């Protein structure tokens, strides 16, 4: 057993790594500072087929798999997380629900442009009243003739308000199930539908070049056929989507953790204090060695979860392990890397400063660290 990459996987990783250092690194600091969405980088990643990585060629996908997406995310996040999360959310939250649960007509209508990176889609689960308890959705959708009428609000939704966002898949209560619990369904709501308002961009601590919005639905009407998959399957659908998404977030976190190592190794050799490179101090060496251990074990954890998913084995627990471990590693490494950089580490122009700001969300988004622990314990049969 081993985790060596295939020729294709290596070539993809190298191409994305080249793109990240040549195209993303020189410009992303400015986008970040201005809080602007990097449309040109998204377009180029679209041409490279990254947005279509795990999707079939008949929808203009690349015919690869989810692990390839993860490799691309890791390479992007070594340099920058805003672009990486834009891709992650676009593929795994935007397009994947349609790919997995959509009708042929929905797939043919929406997927090709998403796969080519010409359009983005978002997934609206979290509400102002709660994210972890996603089953407690308050947004409602009522079938009125051949239309759904949606009322409610969603918050913190990635990619929901860019110029190229075409739709948001939202979860809503559509009735009461046989067991007396709320019946949740997913509905595709195209941007621009009357009654659907996208809020202003949030001012965020990190991921500043990524698009995050609040969404409002006020008697918003969409055709009945915009229901995604079966009515009442919304809860099961997003659990599946989030399980996979955790592997992707783990890959992104691994990239950030590795980026901190790479930057620190370079700086420790260049920066001098007391007449010698700071890297000659054991204190710095050990800090960097520990960072490498965390980055490497994060990578092994997400490779393993992705391998189980690819083999169609149960992978839920391992996706949570990978997400929990890698997001921890990212936070720890960003803290250590900014320490290695000293005062420069506190300056926004230094890449590790951006990584420090981008890292905290990794312990929150797509299931907080507490939720990951709950899921792991539950899967172990505890409690």
Ligand X SMILES: Cc1cc2nc3c(=O)[nH]c(=O)nc-3n(C[C@H](O)[C@H](O)[C@H](O)COP(=O)(O)OP(=O)(O)OC[C@H]3O[C@@H](n4cnc5c(N)ncnc54)[C@H](O)[C@@H]3O)c2cc1C
Residues designated as active site: 366
CB of 116 vs another protein, minimal distance in Å: 10
**Does the footprint of ligand X cover residue 37 (CB under 6 A)?**
no
**Does the footprint of another protein cover residue 57 (CB under 8 A)?**
yes
How far apart are alpha carbons 68 and 15 in whole angstroms? 12
Residue closer to ligand X by CB (options 169, 264) is: 169
CB of 311 vs another protein, minimal distance in Å: 20
Residue 209 binds: one of ligand X, another protein, none (C-beta under 5 to 8 A by kind): none
Q: Using CB under 8 A, which of the segments 57-65, 129-137, 169-177, 350-358 binds another protein? A: 57-65
Q: Going by DSSP bridges, is the β-strand pair 182-190/140-144 parallel, antiparallel, or unpaired?
A: unpaired
CB of 375 vs ligand X, minimal distance in Å: 11
Looking only at residues 265 through 304 of this chain, which bind ligand X when binding is defined by CB under 6 A? none
Q: Using CB under 8 A, which of the segments 4-12, 30-38, 271-279, 297-305 binds another protein? A: 4-12
**What 8-state DSSP symbol labels residue 52?**
T
For 232-237, which contacts have Cβ atoms below 8 Å and span 24 or more sequence positions? 232/174, 232/175, 232/177, 232/183, 232/184, 232/185, 233/101, 233/185, 233/186, 234/171, 234/172, 234/174, 234/183, 234/184, 234/185, 234/186, 235/134, 235/135, 235/171, 235/184, 237/97, 237/100, 237/101, 237/186
CB neighbours of residue 239 within 10 Å: 13
Q: Using CB under 8 A, which of the segments 15-23, 31-39, 151-159, 292-300 binds another protein? A: 15-23
Q: Transcribe 250-286 into DSSP letters.
A: HHHHHHHHHHHHHHHHHHHHH-EETTEEGGGSHHHHH
Backbone angles phi, psi at 18, to 5 degrees: -65, -45
How far apart are alpha carbons 170 and 155 in whole angstroms? 11
**Does the footprint of another protein cover residue 56 (CB under 8 A)?**
no
Q: Which residue's CB comes closest to ligand X?
A: 131
Would you state the torsion angle of the CA atoms of residues 369, 81, 254, 318, taken in this order, to the nearest 10 degrees? 40
Candidate list 10, 21, 103, 132; residue touching ligand X; CB under 6 A: 132
**Does the footprint of ligand X cover residue 245 (CB under 6 A)?**
no
Q: Residue 292: CA atoms inside 13 Å, Cβ hemisphere, count?
A: 10
Three-state DSSP at 189 gives strand
Would you state the torsion angle of the CA atoms of residues 318, 323, 328, 333, taken in this order, to the nearest 10 degrees? 110
Residue closer to ligand X by CB (options 6, 132) is: 132
How far apart are alpha carbons 48 and 42 in whole angstroms? 10
Applying CB under 8 A, the site for another protein has a residue count of 19
Residue closer to another protein by CB (options 56, 364) is: 56
**Distance in angstroms between the alpha carbons of the first and the last residue of the chain:** 34
- The rounded Cα 86 to chain-centroid distance in angstroms is 7
Residue closer to ligand X by CB (options 131, 345) is: 131
Q: Using CB under 6 A, which of the segments 44-52, 150-158, 193-201, 304-312 binds ligand X? A: 150-158
CB of 210 vs ligand X, minimal distance in Å: 7
How far apart are alpha carbons 322 and 303 in whole angstroms? 9
Residue 371 binds: one of ligand X, another protein, none (C-beta under 5 to 8 A by kind): ligand X
**Does the footprint of another protein cover residue 362 (CB under 8 A)?**
no
Angle, to 10 degrees, between the axis of helix 351-359 and the axis of helix 234-270?
Answer: 150
**Does the footprint of ligand X cover residue 18 (CB under 6 A)?**
no
Tell me which residue has tokens 């790479």.
262
How far apart are alpha carbons 381 and 383 in whole angstroms? 7
Residue closer to another protein by CB (options 8, 272) is: 8
Q: Going by DSSP bridges, is the β-strand pair 165-176/120-124 parallel, antiparallel, or unpaired?
A: parallel
Binding mask 29-48 for another protein (x = CB under 8 A): ---------------x--xx
Looking only at residues 312 through 371 of this chain, which bind ligand X when binding is defined by CB under 6 A? 361, 364-366, 368, 370-371
Looking only at residues 66 through 105 of this chain, which bind another protein when binding is defined by CB under 8 A? 68
Q: Using CB under 8 A, which of the segments 58-66, 141-149, 158-166, 367-375 binds another protein? A: 58-66
Binding site for ligand X (CB under 6 A): 89, 93, 122-126, 130-132, 156-158, 204, 207, 212, 361, 364-366, 368, 370-371, 374
Binding site for another protein (CB under 8 A): 7-8, 11-12, 15, 18-19, 44, 47-50, 52-53, 57, 62-64, 68
């Amino acid at each position: 057993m081993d985790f060596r990459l295939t020729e294709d996987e290596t070539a993809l990783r190298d191409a994305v790594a080249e793109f990240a250092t040549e195209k993303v690194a020189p410009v992303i600091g400015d986008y970040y500072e201005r809080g602007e969405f990097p449309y040109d980088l998204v377009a180029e990643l679209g041409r490279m087929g990254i947005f279509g990585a795990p999707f079939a060629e008949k929808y203009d996908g690349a015919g690869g798999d989810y692990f390839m997406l993860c490799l691309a995310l890791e390479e992007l996040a070594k340099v920058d997380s805003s672009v990486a999360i834009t891709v992650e959310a676009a593929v795994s939250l935007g397009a994947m629900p349609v790919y997995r649960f959509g009708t042929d007509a929905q797939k043919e209508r929406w997927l090709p442009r998403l796969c080519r990176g010409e359009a983005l889609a978002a997934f609206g689960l979290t509400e102002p009243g709660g994210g972890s308890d996603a089953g407690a959705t308050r947004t409602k959708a009522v079938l009125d003739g051949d239309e759904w009428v949606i009322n409610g609000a969603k918050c913190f939704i990635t990619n929901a308000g860019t110029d190229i966002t075409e739709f948001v898949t939202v979860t809503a209560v559509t009735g009461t199930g046989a067991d007396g619990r709320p019946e949740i369904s997913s509905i595709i709501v195209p941007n621009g539908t009357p009654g659907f308002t996208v809020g202003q961009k949030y001012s965020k601590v990190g991921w500043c070049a990524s698009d995050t919005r609040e969404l409002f639905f006020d008697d918003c009407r969409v055709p009945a056929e915009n229901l995604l998959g079966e009515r009442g399957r919304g809860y099961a659908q997003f659990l599946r989507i989030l399980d996979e998404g955790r592997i992707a977030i783990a890959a992104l976190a691994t990239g950030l953790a590795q980026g901190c190592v790479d930057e620190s190794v370079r700086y420790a050799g260049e920066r001098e204090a007391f007449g010698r490179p700071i890297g000659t101090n054991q204190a710095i060496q050990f800090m960097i060695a520990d960072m490498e251990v965390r980055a490497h074990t994060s990578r092994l954890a997400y490779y393993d979860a992705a391998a189980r998913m690819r083999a169609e084995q149960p992978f839920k627990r391992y996706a949570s392990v990978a997400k929990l471990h890698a997001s921890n590693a990212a936070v720890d490494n960003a803290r250590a890397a900014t320490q290695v950089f000293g005062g420069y580490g506190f300056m926004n122009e230094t890449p590790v400063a951006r990584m420090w700001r981008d890292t905290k969300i990794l312990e929150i988004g797509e299931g907080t660290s507490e939720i990951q622990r709950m899921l792991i314990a539950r899967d172990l049969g505890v409690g």
